[in-house]
Amino acid sequence: MDSKKIHINKDLCTGCGTCLAVAPGCFTLNDDFKVELLPKINESDENIELAQESCPAEAISIF
């Protein structure tokens, strides 16, 4: 994901944790139970894309 950017729309995020289950090396939950990116991403591109596709709120965008 070095050449791509990941964006999380926190207004859409429900904090369900699906992305955490799929790509724990990329995402974390904050104190408001909204997903944030980890400071250092250690996850495969495939898992990050699967997390985006699996998000029921469609809150994850990859550019």
- The answer to whether the beta carbons of residues 12 and 59 sit under 8 Å apart is yes
Question: How close are the terminal C-alpha atoms of the chain, in Å?
Answer: 10
pLDDT at 29: 96
- Is pLDDT at 2 greater than 70 in this prediction? no
49 Cβ contact partners less than 8 Å away, ≥ 6 residues apart: 62
Domain residue limits, the chain:
6-62
| Architecture (CATH level 2) of domain 6-62 | 2-Layer Sandwich (3.30)
pLDDT at 1: 66
pLDDT at 63: 94
